[in-house]
């Protein structure tokens, strides 16, 4: 009986020692998974996921605090890629979230009073202007997050869907009707 206890205790001690050493030796400083998740997120910084930006959302996913289906700009495709990365089943976008075609904010320059509120709201500094000067959106930089629409006191900002041109045009998925063979 004593021998059995000693054997098991010895085993436990040795293994515990090895594991303890390993946990120090292989300590993970920061979770690099966050970077990988962040790379998939579309970086609109729109906050529709309920987090104040893409990086915080990525951190939350990594910790398992947030679901993968909270990002409407990424759409089903984004959810699918997150699912693939994390090895879980893809699922539809969460309640009340809906994927919209990519758009940019446009300021009606006749109405703008130059209050700079939209500039403060823009998460990527895509609006240029100064106090009491007319503001304008740099369309190449705009992520279409809509965060500037609400703060505008004179409602002079609206979203415009980006139209396809010959560069962004994509070949469509070939639509073929497979012939029924008897």
Partner 1 sequence: MRTGNPPAAGARGRRLYDFPGGVHPEGHKAVSTGRPIAAMPLLPRYVVALRQHIGEPARAVVQIGERVLRGQLIGRPEGYVSVGVHAPTSGRVVAVEPRPVPHPSGLMDLCVVIDADGEDRAVDLAPLDWHRMDPSALRNRLREMGLAGLGGAVFPSFIKLNPGAKRQIPILILNGAECEPWITCDDMLMRERASEILLGAHVMRHMLGAEQVLVGIEDNKPEALACMAEAAAGSDVEVVGVPTVYPGGGGKQLTYTLTGRKTPSKGLTTDVGVQVFNVGTAYSLYRAVYLGEPLVSRVVTVTGHVGSPRNLEVRLGSPISDVIRAAGGELPGATGEVIGGPMMGFDLHDTSAPITKAVNCVLVRNAEHFPPKPAPMPCIRCGECARACPAALQPYELYWYARHRDFGKTQSYSLFDCIECGCCSYVCPSHIPLVDYYRFAKSEIWAREREKQAADLARERHEFRIFRLEREKREKAEKLAKKASERMDSGAVATDDPEAARKKALLAAAIEKAKQAKAGIRPKNVDDLPADKQREIAAIEARRQQLASTAEPSDTRSPTPDS
Partner 2 sequence: MQDYLLILIGTVFVNNIVMAKILGLCPFMGVSRKLETSIGMGAATTFVLTLASGLSYLIDTYLLGSELFYLRTLSFIVVIAGIVGFTEMFIKKTSPVLFRVLGIYLPLITTNCAVLGIPLLNVQERHDFVSSLFFGMGGALGFTLVLVLFAAMRERLEAADVPAPFRGTSIAMVSAGLMSLAFMGFAGLIK
Which residues of the chain form contacts with partner 2 (CB under 8 A)?
Answer: 3-4, 7-8, 10-12, 15, 18-19, 22-23, 26-28, 31-33, 36, 84-87
> Can you tell me the distance from the alpha carbon of 82 to that of 118, in angstroms, rounded to the nearest whole number?
31
Helices 33-40, 54-63: axis angle to 10 degrees equals: 130
Q: Which does 132 bind (CB under 5 to 8 A by kind): partner 2, partner 1, none?
A: partner 1
Distances from the Cα of 86 to the Cαs of 81, 97, 157, in angstroms?
9, 21, 38
25 lies in the binding site for partner 1 (CB under 8 A): no
**Residue 172 binding partner 1, by CB under 8 A:** yes
Backbone angles phi, psi at 88, to 5 degrees: -120, 170
Q: Which of 37, 61, 66, 126 binds partner 1 (CB under 8 A)?
A: 126
5-13, 59-67, 85-93, 107-115 -> range binding partner 1 (CB under 8 A): 107-115
30 touches partner 1 (CB under 8 A)? no
Nearest approach, Cβ of residue 25 and partner 1 (Å): 32
* Pair of tokens at residue 41: 């997120």
The least CB distance from residue 31 to partner 2, in Å, is 7
Q: How many CA atoms lie within 13 A of 145 on its CB side?
A: 27
Judged by CB under 8 A, does residue 143 bind partner 1? yes
C-alpha dihedral (104, 108, 109, 114), degrees to nearest 10:
-90
Q: DSSP assignment, residue 5? A: H
Within its chain, how far is the Cα of 17 from the centroid? 41
The residue written with tokens 């976008």 in the block is: 93
- Contact between 182 and partner 1 by CB under 8 A: the answer reads no
Q: Is 161 in the site for partner 1 (CB under 8 A)?
A: no
* Residue 28 Cβ vs partner 1, minimum distance, rounded to whole Å: 23
Is there a contact between 141 and 125 (Cβ–Cβ < 8 Å)?
A: yes
Binding site for partner 1 (CB under 8 A): 38-39, 41-45, 53-55, 110-117, 120, 123-126, 131-132, 141, 143, 151, 153-156, 164-166, 168-174, 176-179, 181
């Amino acid at each position: 009986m004593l021998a059995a206890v000693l054997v098991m205790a010895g085993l436990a001690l040795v293994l515990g020692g090895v594991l303890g050493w390993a946990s120090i030796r292989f300590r993970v400083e920061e979770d690099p998974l966050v970077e990988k998740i962040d790379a998939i997120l579309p970086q609109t910084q729109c906050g529709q996921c309920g987090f104040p930006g893409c990086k915080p959302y990525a951190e939350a996913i990594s910790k398992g605090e947030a679901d993968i289906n909270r990002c409407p700009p990424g759409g089903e495709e984004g959810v699918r890629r997150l699912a693939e990365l994390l090895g879980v089943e893809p699922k539809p976008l969460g309640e009340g979230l809906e994927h919209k075609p990519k758009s940019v904010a446009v300021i009606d320059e006749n109405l703008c009073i130059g209050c700079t509120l939209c500039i403060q709201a823009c998460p990527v500094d895509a609006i240029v202007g100064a106090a009491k000067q007319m503001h304008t959106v740099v369309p190449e930089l705009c992520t279409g997050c809509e965060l500037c629409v609400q703060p505008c006191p004179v409602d002079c900002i609206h979203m415009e869907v980006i139209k396809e041109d010959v560069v962004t045009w994509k070949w469509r998925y070939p639509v073929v009707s497979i012939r029924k063979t008897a």
